[in-house]
Amino acid sequence: MQNQSPKIAVFSTKNWVIQAFDEVNKNHSFEPSYFEARLDKKTAPLAAGHEVVCAFVNDKVDAKTLEILKTQGIKLIALRCAGFNNVDIEKAQELDIAVVRVPAYSPYAVAEHTLGLILALNRKLHKAYHRVRDGNFALDGLMGFDLHQKTIGIIGTGKIGQVFCQLIKGFGVRILAYDKYPNEELKNLGIEYVELPKLYQQCDIISLHCPLTYETYHMINEYAIAAMKPGVMIVNTSRGPLIDSNAVIEGLKKGKVGNLALDVYEEEEALFFEDLSEKVIQDDTFVRLQTFPNVLITAHQAFFTKEAVHNIAETTFANIAEFFKTGKSANQVIPVGK
Ligand code: NAD
């Protein structure tokens, strides 16, 4: 596999993707074709004539899409994101299509956005901004709570969860964490690992930083919410389907969930990354979430910093270069148990 300048079909392209990729490509000699379309079985034929497909978080790289890509001669799926829950990894392996990803590009970007969401939602900064611009200087309805001495629950203490622990620790909080593989460095920082029932029962704020897997799908469901402290703040900057949206809506209606901050949403594929301001939103669950005064949603932008986007482009091209030089990549995704 010695092709040094494979043709790359880049899907879900936006201007910022083209800018970052073209900048980094000055150090390579790739031939990227940029497609605005999201990758799925309908758009997969656009990849004809290329050897690599570059996909993002909401591209649907399922079995059918992979079969079509195989007939187009695609050898590599280069994900320009960390999560790979949108790719049928077993099918890719069966078809001999390699999959690479960008495991880390800036845990700081996501952890800092998580902190930003908590501060904005708690102190209602998004509402205060509009009030002051409208000449309304009243404080009623803007009261928040001190983070100091609250208990924060962190589910998933990998790269992002770890940075988030370090950031929020500065507020003088107690931190309870849950991870299948506890992090010794964090234990030394005074972070206490507990099982989920204790975390749910004791935490004022619960922030999700674990990947989406069969095990974590809808982990925040009616039972988990029932076990939580009344008025809990739930924050999800990981993957939408970690939360059962209908269950959290019920929790919000009952006042059990006191605040909800989301950067991801389980049906976000139909909404996020597009300007739909002139369209009627058809997703009633999303629209219902937007009606709550104590819900703050951003559209999957936690990763979106200069540094992170540059690192994504750099690692994506480095992965492709390595794969075409050596036939493999250190960032290759291998099916579990293989
Ligand atoms: P990571 O792999 O470094 O850490 C994930 C952690 O979750 C690991 O410590 C792992 O042991 C733990 N884990 C796995 N299964 C678990 C389970 N069932 N329960 C509890 N913990 C479990 O990943 P990361 O770089 O920290 O990223 C975390 C997640 O953040 C990613 O999976 C991705 O979905 C999401 N993410 C979101 C954005 C965004 O823009 N919103 C950007 C990047 C990543």
CA distance 170 to 185: 16
Q: Say if ligand 1 is within 6 A of residue 113 CB.
A: no
CB < 8 Å & 24+ apart, contacts of 239-244: 239/83, 239/85, 239/211, 239/212, 239/264, 240/264, 240/265, 240/266, 240/267, 240/268, 241/212, 241/217, 241/266, 242/208, 242/210, 242/212, 242/216, 242/217, 242/218, 243/208, 243/218, 243/219, 244/218, 244/220
- Distance from C-alpha of 289 to C-alpha of 302, rounded to nearest angstrom: 19
Report how many helices (DSSP H) and strands (DSSP E) the chain contains, helices first: 12, 12
| Closest C-alpha among 237, 266, 271, 8 to residue 106 | 237
Asked if 52 and 4 touch (Cβ cutoff 8 Å), the reply is no
Q: Interior CA angle at 240 toward 235 and 242, to 5°?
A: 75
- Active-site entry in 51, 266, 268, 314: 268
Pick the CATH number of 107-297 from 3.40.50.150, 1.20.210.10, 3.40.50.720, 1.10.10.10: 3.40.50.720
CB 21 within 8 A of CB 67: no
The two tokens of residue 69 are 């890509």
State which fold the 7-105+305-326 domain adopts. Answer: Rossmann fold (3.40.50)
Cα(86)–Cα(77) distance, integer angstroms: 12
Q: Which of 307, 305, 286, 285 is nearest to 297 (CA)?
A: 286
Nearest CA to ligand 1 atom 20: 179
Structure confidence at residue 2 (pLDDT): 59
C-alpha 146/C-alpha 255 separation (Å) is 20
Q: Pairing relation of β-strands 31-34 and 151-155?
A: unpaired
Cα angle 95, 99, 101; round to 5? 170
Taking 70 as the pLDDT cut, the residues of the chain under it are 1-4, 337-338
Q: Model-level pTM?
A: 0.94
pLDDT reported for residue 17: 95
Q: Report the separation in Å between the CA atom of 195 and the middle of ligand 1, taken as the mean of its atom positions.
A: 17
Q: Can 239 be counted among the known catalytic residues?
A: yes
| Chain centre to alpha carbon of residue 70 | 27
Distance from the alpha carbon of residue 57 to the mean position of ligand 1, in angstroms: 14
Helical H runs in 182-305?
Answer: 184-188, 196-202, 222-226, 245-254, 284-291
pLDDT score for 4: 67
pLDDT tens digits for range 17-57: 999 999 999 998 898 999 999 999 999 999 999 999 999 99
DSSP 3-state percent helix, strand, coil across the chain (nearest 5): 40, 15, 45
Give the three-class secondary structure for 99: strand
Same CATH fold, 107-297 and 7-105+305-326?
Answer: yes
Cβ of 161 below 6 Å from ligand 1 = yes
Name the amino acid, one letter, at 199: L
Domain-wise residue ranges, the chain: 7-105+305-326, 107-297
Say whether 268 is catalytic.
Answer: yes
* Alpha carbon of 150 to ligand 1 centroid (Å): 24
Q: Give the nearest ligand 1 atom to 161 CA.
A: 26
Our answer to whether residue 174 is catalytic in this structure is no
The helix-helix angle for 107-123 and 159-169 (nearest 10°) equals: 50
Q: Which residue has the tokens 């922030």?
A: 207
Distance from residue 126's CA to the centre of ligand 1 (Å): 27
